[in-house]
Each structure stands twice: as structure tokens, then as C-alpha cells.
Structure 1
Amino acid sequence: MPIISVIMPVYNAEKYLKEAIDSILNQTLDDLELICVDDGSTDSSLDILNEYALKDNRVNVFTQNHGGGGAARNLALTKCSGKYLYCMDADDILDSNALSELYEICEEKNLDFVIFQATCYYDEKNEYCSENYHMMNELADYVGGYVFDMHDLTEDLVFKISVTPWSKLYNLDFVLKTHSQFAENLIFHDNVFFWQVFFNADRIYFYRKSLYVHRIHSESSTGSKDERFVDIIDITNHVIMLFMENGYWDKFQNQLSNRKIGIPFFRYDLVQDDYKELFYEKLKKDLSIVHDETMYIEFVDNLSPQNKKIFKNILISKDFDDFERLNNS
């Protein structure tokens, strides 16, 4: 049985795939398996995967019809046999000592999972950047060198943890016992998985070291900023339901109410102009349901002035052009 199972969804990643795979296979901890799921690639990605599988018996390749990264990760989870789980993206790079260092920390502290830092690389600009969301310095300052769980954190700090699976090493038995899954047929699918494991974890540790380079480019699912950005509405609602189902709505209703407005609108601002009207229509439909529910007054009372204005503009707007005019004013 390998120490670590690394899972990697792959879709049309030929440009970066070899660098990503090499960063796993060249780890100083070599007792691992790399489980790659080709998600119906139309480029040479599957050929590259098969070449690696022929050269290195640690590489296992599976295929599926194009169903998105969430479905590919869920399939890979059923194939894992290691003690720990690591999730790798097919266009990123992992530091060669990462798995060794993270494994030692998990073993020493008997963790459900460890969180670490990541650096962003803007491919088209050839620039590296340490962004707050992936560095999580505020979390590091707060927890210090102590093992913690969600109940040890302030209500605001809970939402300042990066949900990305590639900045964590998980105990695989723990993940399987929680029945955590990635959302399927949606981008931003890692949000759902993160909250499921986070709610159930008793022993988390923050390792204050950047061990990962996250490549940002226009060809990725989130970098393309296309019509799939609308998925954030469903994802946000799914996360809110998870909080409710786990008994955390009352404690976090202020943050969750504002996230129901703020998170989709953040993506609305970023989406390509060609898809803004589609985004607006789905957002209006979604928020109109809140307007019709008995929780409306409580919901509005929780909103910040900015989010309250966005909410009002969406509800009173006659159409997309009217909303744009109200929003810009």
C-alpha cells in the first residue's frame, strides 16, 4: 500500500501536463501512486498519461466521458489505496519536498488534514504573486503552531481558508468516513468538498510554507471566465445548505447571507461581457426566491450596505440593461 495517493483530473492539459506529473513523480517521498482521470480530452493529454504509465508503475490512468473535474476527482477517490490523499491539478507544480514534509507533519500530529500555502503564477504575464487567499497569513497568525478545528476559529476567519484541495494533505480514511464528494457538472466544485471535510475534522494544522505553484491562465475552467461562471450560484446555495444541514446557520447566518450576494456578484464582475446577461437572469431568479420566503426580512438585515444595494437593484430591475444602469449608478 502506498503512503500517499495523488489524484489528478486531466482535461486538455497537454501544454502543462508533463511538468505537473514530473513534480509528483520526482517527489523526495516516492512511495506514492498517481491516479489520473482523463476527462474526455480532445488533445494529446491521454497519450501523455499513457506514456507515463508505461514508464512508471506508480501511474494509473482511468478515463471517463467529459463530466468535469468534480466527477473526475470523485472517480479517482474510488481508486485510492494510500494512507493519505493529495489532490493535484494538471497545470500546476508541487515542490519536490512537499509530500515528505506534509506526511511527517500528519504522522507526528495525527491529523485529519494539514493546510499549507501556495504561490500564484500568471502564465500570460510570466509573474509570480503571493495572494492573500492562498497564503492565509491571518489564519497562520491566529492558530500559530497549534492543532485546531473550526470551533477554535472566529466566525470571520472560518471563511478566510482557501477551499482549494491542492493546498491540503488529507488522511484518506477520514475523508472516506465523511463521504465527502466534489460537486459534479459544475466548476468551483471544490467548495462543496472542502466544507464537508472541514465540518467533520477534529485535528487540522496549518503549515506556514508555500509548497505549490498555482498556474493561472486563460484556458483553465476558471480562467476562461465563460458561461460556466454561472455555476457559482448553485455552488453557493449548496454550501449554504451544508451549513444548515450541519446546524451552523444560526451561528454563521450573517456571513452566509452576505456570501449569497457577494460571491456570485464577484464572479459576475469577472465574467466575459457576452455572458453577463445570462448570469444576471439566473441571479435574479435565484434571489427572487429569497424575496418570496419568510426569511426575507432577516436576510436583508444581515446584508452589508453594498450587498443590500446589489440585492435591491437585482429585484427592482426590469431587465439586464436596467440592472447594469442601476448598478453603474
Structure 2
Amino acid sequence: MPLVSVIIPIFNVENYLKKCLKSIINQTLKDIEIICINDGSSDSSLNILNDFASSDERIIVLSQKNHGPAKSRNEGLKIAKGKYIFFVDSDDYIQDYTLEKLYENAKNNDSDIVMFKISEFIREDELLQTNRFNLDEVFEDTDFNNFTFTYKDIKPYVLNNSFSAWSKFYKKSFLDSYDDFTFPENLILGEDVPFHVKSLIRSSKISFVSDYLYNYRVSNSNSIMHSDKNRNDIFKICNLVENDLKNEDCFEEFEREFSELKRNQIYHYAMQAKSEDYLKTAKEEISKLDLDKLSNRLFSKANVILECEDIADFIVKKYELEISELKSANEIIIGNIRQSYANLMDDYNKLKQKNKKLKQKNAKLKDKNSKLKEKNKILSDKNKEILSSRSWKITEPLRKMKKGD
């Protein structure tokens, strides 16, 4: 039984696949299996997979018709034999020590899930460390090799943070203890959100590695993601999450966060919508929310959808709101700059006054030093006079005799 099963859905990523696979086969933790699901690629991705598999027996290659990442991950879960499960997207890559650090942390803490930090990149040589899962700021001065927590300790991360399947490291026995830890295969957008939410809520032991272990490629989404048909998936996702929260008896606990999640997702996809049907459904779904539970900013964005008459009207209202937000943000920035300037001027004036006093003190010291030099010259001249005097020379034998005594 391998220690870790790495599951990789693959679809038309010939330009990135080699880097992804190399980052996994070169892991410092060697006892792993690498399950690659070719999701109907039409480029050379399958050839690359077969080349790698021919030289590394840990690589398992499966092929299927194009169904999307959800089915690919589900197929990988069905055959995975590892004690732990780790998902990787085929255009991303991980640090060489990622699996070792995650495995050691999970073993030490006997945790169901391990969370960690994530870097983003457009170019491989320009990694940007993100603020996703910065749990070392939540749990300060903590030895994370001997520390676990539950979702109640990190509530803001459950519904409004990184939902990606690859952003957690899972104990397989924990996933197997439920019969519904699968990804919804009939959806294109947000298929990993329900999996994320259920896993965090159900876990009795979550742990954390405070290293940046996963490198996520920021790229333009496939055009299939941008169709209004697929945008409607977000309504289904929100319904699934709502049902899951209710089934776990914690919907009331998350009602505010759920309202924010739904508003955020619907507004995000409405910004690029082209059909009246999507906007109509968006208005219906937003109207179901208890808007009083939203912050002022989210309330304003929800109203943009509710008040629009059509796509053109929505775009106008959206940009008006964004301009208003930019103006407000600009005023805050200007206010902060002015305050900073005032503070700097205050510090400058204090330093100026202090410098003036130091100059006065320095002048007094210079005057005192000058007087001491003058006094020292007088004493030096007097000493020379004494040493050259006749009486000093006459008494020299007596001084020598005294020293001899």
C-alpha cells in the first residue's frame, strides 16, 4: 500500500504536463502512486503520459471520454490505494518536499485533513505567495507538528476561501467513512466546492503546514467555462452547499457566510453574462437571500442585480457601483496618505526641534572645550617654565635620592 495516492485530471495540457509530472515523480517521499486520468485530450497529453509511465512504474494512466475534472477525480478515488489522497491540477506543480511534509504532519497529528499555503504564478520563475490559508496568523506561536483544530476554529475559511480540491491533503480512511465524498459530475463550474465544505465540516482533526507547497498557475479559463449555460452551474452548486449544511445541522451557524458565498458567486459570473436568462435566474436567487445578513458592500452588489432591467442596465449599474467603490477607496487612500504626511511632518518638526537643542548643546560643549584647551595651554606653559627653571634643576639630585629610598 503506497503512502500517498496523487490524482491528476488531464485535459489538453501538453505545454504544462511535463513540469507537473516531474514535480511529482521527483518528490522526496518516494512511496507514492500517481494516478493520471486522461480526460479525452486531443493534443499530445496522452503520449506524454505514456512516455512517463514507461519509465516510472508508480504512474497509472487511465483514459476516458471528456467528462470534466469531477469524473476524473472520482475515477481516481475509486482505484486509489494510498493511505492519503492528494489532488494536483495538470497545469500546476508542487515543491519537491510537498508530499513528505504533508505526510509527516498528517501522521504526527493523526489528522483527517492537512491544509497548507499556496503560491500563484503566471510565469514559473515568478511565484507570488498568496494569503490563502495563512493559518499561522490565526494560531500564533504554534507547533503545527503537534496541533489540530476543527472548522469552528477557522470558520471564515469554510465558505469564502480556496475551495480547490488540490488545496488539502486527505486521509483516505476519513473519506471512505462516508459514501458521498465524490465530485458532482454533471457540473463544470465549482464542482469542488461541496467536497471542500463537507470535508472541513466533518473532520474532527484538521492540521496545517505553514510552508508554501503548491504552485497554482493563474491562466485564462477555458472558453467552456465562460458560457452562460455553464454559469448556471453556480446556482446548482449553491443549492448543493445549502443542502449539505442543512444535512450536517449547521446551516444556521453558516447562514451569513452562505449568503455571502451565494452573492459573491452569482455576482462574479453575472459580470460576464451575455443572456437575459442567466440574469433573470440570478435575480431570483439573490431575492431569496436575507440581505440584512450581508455587509454594506455586498448588499450594494446584490442590489445591482436585483435592480437591473436587462444586461445593458446591469453593466451600467455595475460600473457605476465600481466607480463609486473606487472613489471611496481613493478617498480612503488619500485620507491615509494625508494622515501619514501629517504624522511625518509632526515627526519632522519634533526632530527639527530636537536637532536645534542638540546644536545648542553642541555649541556649549564647543565653548567649554575651547576654554579647557586654553586652560590646558596655560598649565602646559607653566609646566614647561617649571621644568626649565634653575630651582628644578638644582633639586633634581634630591628627587632621584628620594626615588632610590
TM (norm. structure 2) is 0.71
Q: Are the structure 2 counterparts of residues 151 and 28 from structure 1 closer, same or farther at C-alpha, using a change threshold of 3 Å?
A: same
Instruction: Look up the equivalent residue of 2:184 and give its one-letter code.
Output: A
Q: Are the structure 2 counterparts of residues 157 and 51 from structure 1 closer, same or farther at C-alpha, using a change threshold of 3 Å?
A: closer
Distance across 2 between alignment mates of 1:142 and 1:72: 40
Check whether the contact 1:119–1:135 (CA below 8 A) recurs between aligned residues: no
Distance across 2 between alignment mates of 1:156 and 1:117: 16
**Offset at residue 163 of structure 1 (A):** 2.2
Query: After the TM superposition, which residues 22-41 of structure 1 pair with which residues of structure 2 at under 5 Å, given as runs?
Result: 22-41=22-41
Q: Report the counterpart of residue 281 of structure 1 in structure 2.
A: 277
Q: Report the counterpart of residue 76 of structure 1 in structure 2.
A: 76
**Offset at residue 129 of structure 1 (A):** 1.1
Check whether the contact 2:113–2:170 (CA below 8 A) recurs between aligned residues: yes
Which of 290, 312, 335 pairs up with 1:321?
312
Check whether the contact 2:267–2:305 (CA below 8 A) recurs between aligned residues: no
Gaps of 5+ in 1: none
SS in 2 for 1:78: helix
The number of equivalent residue pairs is: 314
**Offset at residue 189 of structure 1 (A):** 1.6
Stretch of structure 1 that moved more, 162-171 or 40-49 = 162-171
**Offset at residue 188 of structure 1 (A):** 2.4
Q: Report the counterpart of residue 67 of structure 1 in structure 2.
A: 67
Check whether the contact 1:9–1:36 (CA below 8 A) recurs between aligned residues: yes
Check whether the contact 1:133–1:160 (CA below 8 A) recurs between aligned residues: no
The superposition leaves residues 166-217 of structure 1 with CA deviations (integer Å, 9 ceiling, x where unpaired) of 2322111111222311222313222111112112100110110111211112
The superposition leaves residues 75-121 of structure 1 with CA deviations (integer Å, 9 ceiling, x where unpaired) of 11101011111111111111111111211111111110111111111
Check whether the contact 2:266–2:282 (CA below 8 A) recurs between aligned residues: no
Which of 223, 240, 247 pairs up with 2:249?
247
Stretch of structure 1 that moved more, 191-200 or 137-146 = 137-146
The superposition leaves residues 141-162 of structure 1 with CA deviations (integer Å, 9 ceiling, x where unpaired) of 4977320011233x43544552
**Offset at residue 229 of structure 1 (A):** 4.8
Check whether the contact 2:164–2:193 (CA below 8 A) recurs between aligned residues: yes
Distance across 2 between alignment mates of 1:320 and 1:133: 33
Check whether the contact 2:286–2:302 (CA below 8 A) recurs between aligned residues: no
Instruction: Look up the equivalent residue of 1:237 and give its one-letter code.
Output: N
Distance across 2 between alignment mates of 1:221 and 1:136: 32
Q: Are the structure 2 counterparts of residues 73 and 158 from structure 1 closer, same or farther at C-alpha, using a change threshold of 3 Å?
A: closer
Check whether the contact 1:165–1:190 (CA below 8 A) recurs between aligned residues: yes
Distance across 2 between alignment mates of 1:216 and 1:315: 31
Q: Report the counterpart of residue 112 of structure 1 in structure 2.
A: 112
Q: Report the counterpart of residue 50 of structure 2 in structure 1.
A: 50
Q: Report the counterpart of residue 3 of structure 2 in structure 1.
A: 3
Distance across 2 between alignment mates of 1:186 and 1:137: 33
SS in 2 for 1:120: strand
Q: Report the counterpart of residue 378 of structure 2 in structure 1.
A: none
Distance across 2 between alignment mates of 1:303 and 1:172: 37
**Offset at residue 21 of structure 1 (A):** 0.7
SS in 2 for 1:5: strand
> Percent identity of the aligned residues?
30
Gaps of 5+ in 2: 321-405
Instruction: Look up the equivalent residue of 1:327 and give its one-letter code.
Output: K
Q: Would you tell me which structure has more helix in proportion to its own residues?
A: 2
Q: Are the structure 2 counterparts of residues 182 and 140 from structure 1 closer, same or farther at C-alpha, using a change threshold of 3 Å?
A: farther
Q: For the pair shown, which has the larger CA radius of gyration, 1 or 2?
A: 2
**Offset at residue 165 of structure 1 (A):** 2.4
**Offset at residue 318 of structure 1 (A):** 2.1
Distance across 1 between alignment mates of 2:310 and 2:235: 19
Distance across 2 between alignment mates of 1:159 and 1:207: 21
Distance across 2 between alignment mates of 1:142 and 1:320: 50
TM (norm. structure 1) is 0.86
SS in 1 for 2:82: coil
**Offset at residue 24 of structure 1 (A):** 0.8
**Offset at residue 60 of structure 1 (A):** 0.6
